[in-house]
Amino acid sequence: MLELIGKSVSKGIAIGKIAFYSNNNQNVPQYEIEDPEKELERYEKAMTLAKAHLQTLYDEACRRVSKKESAIFRTHIMILEDSKFVDMVRHCITVKKWNTEFAVHSTASQLAEIFRQLEDDYLRQRYSDILDAANTLLEIMRPKARAYRNSRTEPVIMAASELLPSETLRFKKEMLLGFVTNNGSKNSHTAILARMMELPAVTHITESLAEFDGRIAVLDGQKGKLLIDPDNNTLALYKAQKSRCQREQQNLKRQLGLPCVTKNGRPVRLSAVLSDLEDIAAAENNEAQGIGLFRSEYAFINRKQPPSEEEQLEVYKTVIKPFHNTFTTICTANLSAGKGIGYLDLPQENNPAMGYKGIRVSLSNTELLKTQLSAIYRASAYGKVRIVLPMVNSVDEVEYVKRLTKEVKAALRLKGIACDSTVPLGVLIETPAAAVIADDLAKATDFLMIDTNSLTQTTLAMDRENPKLEYFYEPYHKAVLRLIRDVCRVNKPVSICGELACDTYMTPLLLALGAEELAVVPSKLLAVKAVIRETDTDTDTKLLSKLSTR
């Protein structure tokens, strides 16, 4: 048995044969053409077919995952249509007289290398999108380059040097057991798709995977390992572990219908976090107590102009109606340069995660904010609504928004449009500055919400998507936990969202600190509920020792 060590990017266990996928588009032949005009015709025809293929992938991804994760294929269409990309390819064909395949390959490689050298991590990771979009073109022109045998009759562990999103979606889910690659990161599109499809995935395997094609293996997505030719004892252990995990999932279903209260009878509001409309059904099926956080930028991205008030109203109504008897908390659009908001003048930044974003953008575009507030207030006629403001660092920012809400409500009254004039207003605690002045922010608002992802990132001064910082990124850091504790001490309701809210190890501590609501992704609702029901907030304080006293 051979044990290969990598990094887990999606949990789970897979047992089966390895199928190695080789993308031969790296070996693109170069030759001189005699008729550039004829070659341009080939290019235009391939472009038309490639864009149609990407649209098909988008439609398929929407059925299998979510619109948010599927948007990558729309991005690929935009890359192929980009004037810089098109001009460079046409120059290679008409001036250098290169064949179309090599012109596309060379152009994509040059542009991808530019992105790979950028300091900003978000933009740097976009190099793979350029290569993936170009690969779609190359496969249209060179269909024999696909080395994967789609005729396999049994599910396999897919192995590759690196899998791009379009390649991942090409495989039928029922024929997949998991993914293992040499390259990639926890936040790559393929890793996200693997998690959405609930398949294990391991990356950063240093050994060549091609030589293991067809061999039996165990893919351990819990520990980030690949076991080649496991012995009988190892196979038995992993089969038992896989069965145990499946039983645990079935056991979680038993939480359905049970009240969300601690062992000592304290009720806890367990709500869902939504980034788009695709997870509403999952939130309902797992008995979310409302929507604890709806990230409304979903309605603002991948557009040529901002959404109208009527468009936003329809989105908010869609979220609110299934949970009309419980609160839906809508976060005003957390816009930034890294999210492709072309209709706003948002400059590129070296560190957009801590730059011009959130309430800072909203307060510089007050008409955009007032339109959103008007849509939210109108939507409040269809169910209970709360508004939360992102990236707030001062009471002045809150007071300015409160003045805008008065203007919005007055305008709706003049038009005779129904709304709830008492919609609660809160702030999202995302920075140490906001946490330190939480008592002042509490006096100006109706509730506070802690985004543990952003708070951890800003407290530790670490980009959580930077793979070089994975070892240093410590969500249980005492500084982060103390800030959460201090916010929970204010005399206002406190909700907690982010990865710590989904972390069942942290659930007893967050409840002991006084959190009244945990907002988690729909897939974690039942697991967190199970821990809540086993927690005694009067006596279970073993984790409080991590904070000490001062």
For the chain, the distance separating the N- and C-terminal CA atoms, rounded to the nearest angstrom, is 52
Q: Are the C-beta atoms of residues 377 and 420 closer than 8 Å to each other?
A: yes
Catalytic residue chosen out of the listed positions 92, 189, 331, 502: 189
Distance CA 266, CA 535 (A): 10
**Among 505, 513, 496, 492, which residue's Cα sits nearest to residue 534?**
505
Q: Which of 92, 331, 419, 497 is flagged as catalytic?
A: 497
Tokens read off for 504: 């069942």
∠ CA 6-222-67 to the nearest 5 degrees?
A: 90
> Is 189 a catalytic site residue?
yes
CA distance 433 to 449: 14
Helix axes of 127-141 and 100-116: crossing angle, nearest 10 degrees? 170
| Residue given tokens 């590129």 in the structure block | 348
CA–CA gap between residue 367 and residue 411 (Å, rounded): 13
Confirm whether 502 is a catalytic residue: no
Residue 277 token pair: 């409309």
CA distance 53 to 378: 40
Strands (E), 452-550: 494-497, 517-520
Residues 6 or more apart whose Cβ sits within 8 Å of residue 410 = none
Give the max Cα distance, the chain: 82
Strands 216-220, 201-203: pairing kind = unpaired
Question: Whose structure tokens read 């020792």?
Answer: 545
Q: Which 3-state string (H, E, C) describes 135-170?
A: HHHHHHHCHHHECCCCCCCCCEEEEECCCCHHHHHH
- Expressed in percent and rounded to 5, the helix, strand and coil fractions of the chain are 50, 15, 35
SS3 54: helix
CA distances from 291 to 145, 238, 281, 282, 318 (A): 46, 37, 12, 12, 12
Q: 436, 485 in Cβ contact below 8 A?
A: no
Distance between CA atoms of residues 216 and 19, nearest Å: 10
- Backbone φ/ψ region at 69: left (φ over 0), alpha (ψ -120 to 50), beta: alpha
Closest C-alpha among 283, 272, 340, 344 to residue 497: 272
The tokens for 226 are 């690949």
Q: Compute the residue count for the chain.
A: 550
Please, how many CA atoms are within 13 Å of residue 279, restricted to the half-sphere of its CB? 26
Exposed/middle/buried for residue 62 (C-beta within 10 Å: 0-12, 13-18, 19+):
middle
3-state secondary structure of 124: helix
Q: Are 218 and 234 in contact, with CB atoms under 8 Å apart?
A: yes
Question: In whole angstroms, what is the distance from residue 438 CA to residue 489 CA?
Answer: 9
| Catalytic positions | 189, 497
